[in-house]
Amino acid sequence: MSQTQFSDFMEVILGPFGPAYNVWTFRLDTGETILAMLKGDKVESLQFSNSRRPGETPLRTSQGVEMGDLVDRVRTVYGDPEQDDEVFFYYFSEGIAFGRDCTWKNAHDPRRVSCVLIFQKAPSFGSASVVPR
């Protein structure tokens, strides 16, 4: 079972009408860094970034995609994303997004997953198309 090392780091991100998010930073004993984005007292999203050292076991999604896997493997497992931008490709119906080049240590290869964003599933989206490639 993974333990969490709590950071004493909290940042407030300001929006146009005052504080938009409180951001807490954590580090898992598996080496991943977690950014918890809170709006008020509710967690809006969790971002897992690959900051583990070589040889440490990578974090894995319930579908078996590992941090550091090739982006092509994500598409094979999850199908075509519902939205794709420069940094993340989103699966809103699954409540997950994968980042190609998040601004963290060892995140300089756009062919690999460098961070995973977890958020509440969007019911208006159908399930992602799972198409074997």
CA 62/CA 3 separation, integer angstroms = 19
Closest by CA to 109, choosing from 100, 122, 98, is 100
pTM for this one?
A: 0.70
How would you label 112-127 residue by residue, b for 16+ Cβ within 10 Å and e otherwise? Answer: bbbbbbebeeeeeeee
The CA-CA-CA angle for residues 58, 61, 66, to 5°, reads 35
Provide the residue ranges of all domains of the chain, joining segments of one domain with +: 18-119
Model confidence band, residue 6 (pLDDT cutoffs 50, 70, 90)? very low
Lowest-pLDDT range, 7-21, 81-95, 105-119? 7-21
Bigger pLDDT: 13 vs 58? 58
